Amino acid sequence: MIAFKGEAMKKLLLVVLLLGVAGCATTVPPPASVSEDQKAVAPPPPPPPPPPPPSAVVPAERSASAPYGIIGNIGTGDTAHMVLAVDLAAAERDKLEEFRMDMHKVFMSHNVVFRETVSEAGLNIYLPGGDASVLDMLCTPGEGEARQFAVTPPAAPQGDYIVTLAPGYRGQFDKSVFDQTIQHLTRELDSFAAKAPVVKPVAPDHVAVDLPSYRDLDALRRLFGPVSVELRFVDDAAKPDPQHDVVLPEMGGGSLAVSRTAALSDLHIVWVRAGADPYMGTPEVKLTLDAKDAARLALFTRANDGKRVAIVQDGRIVFAPTIRGEIGSEIAIAMPEGANAEILRALGHETGPAPVTIVDLELTDGGGRKVSTLTR
């Protein structure tokens, strides 16, 4: 056995260490050279990744409770486009109704005997005594004011006087209502989209609305479409009959027992607005029904005068008035102080100075092409 000491030992360890490192090293061959011909036939770079798949098509099929379906692709950058018809004739009738209420108060204070009806021609007034001086006074404008109402005398003895909007005032009134409707729509829609809505006239009685980056057409239909309600008889008995009655919640709290089946269903409210009782000045909510439902309601209220009914919307009782005579297209409900806003929310919203009807409702892409629409 050979022993190493001192400097000899250090030299031996260094030699062993160097040999070990050399033995573990891997020899890497130099890269192969590429000829010019090989460069010419080199494969092209890999293609870019495919674009993401388009958004799924929303099927047109909807549940039976949804009267509309959304069809087409919904992509980014879409704009909800809507065209609304403004019912200026309804606003004119409402203006005549205000005159009629004022006329009632003045005629009563002057002990004028009269009979009045409302027709397509205007407000028809029969004065048995033939003295129209009070009526003329009502229609005469104040100093510096434009004449708002015109009176046509009877075409025959014992005929009716007909009150209408004065021809020179009608156009001014319609333009004012139309401008107010645009302002109201702009305020209503301002919270709907990230970008401000564009509301502009496209005809004397039509408004176009564009909501950039907004896609919920169903929400717009619910906001501006008619509100459907039903009437149920109220059972004021101490103990409701479980076979014929059902207890429904009231909007302001509490509950009422009402008939299990609707006495009158599918009544469509097309115009909701806050107002005041012309005699008492107390708050009220005014509702306008479409023409077909107004005829049904007139028959129903004529046959059920004095009965209490609940107006039900989505399973909730909005209010439960007592029928006082025949009611047609216009319903005025007296409300407790502060309750108007809640009623308006329950029935959708306050629809402004005139009723509006959706004529067109669709989505368009950034290039103005239609990508989706609401269809009946």
**According to the model, what pLDDT value does residue 236 have?**
87
Q: What mean pLDDT do residues 138-144 have?
A: 90
Tell me the pLDDT tens digit for each residue of 95-126.
Answer: 998 899 889 989 999 999 999 988 888 999 99
Q: Kindly state the tokens that stand for 242.
A: 């479980």
Average pLDDT over residues 180-186: 91
- Residue 295 tokens read as 């005829």
State pLDDT tens for residues 40-76: 455 566 665 554 443 332 322 322 333 333 333 334 5
pLDDT digits (tens, 9 = 90+) for 307-324: 999 999 889 998 888 998
* Residue 27 confidence (pLDDT): 46
**CA atoms within a 13 Å half-sphere pointing along the CA-CB vector of 264:** 21
pLDDT over threshold 90, residue 158? no
More confident residue, 346 or 301: 301
Exposure letters 247-260 (e unless 16+ CB within 10 A, then b): ebeebeeeebbbbe
Condensed to tens digits (0 to 9), the pLDDT of residues 247-294 reads 999 877 889 999 999 999 999 988 888 777 767 777 778 888 888 898
Euclidean distance between CA atoms 109 and 304, whole angstroms = 32
Q: Give the span between the Cα atoms of 323 and 263, in whole angstroms.
A: 13
pLDDT in tens, 213-239: 888 888 888 888 888 899 999 998 878
Mean pLDDT of the chain: 78
Query: Is the distance from CB of 124 to CB of 162 less than 8 angstroms?
Result: yes
Q: Using an 8 Å Cβ cutoff, are 343 and 318 in contact?
A: yes
Per-residue pLDDT at 43: 57
Closest by CA position to 310, among listed 260, 237, 242? 260
Tens digit of pLDDT for each residue in 21-30? 444 444 445 5
Six-digit token string for 325? 């005579």
Q: What pLDDT, on the 0 to 100 scale, is given for residue 50? A: 52
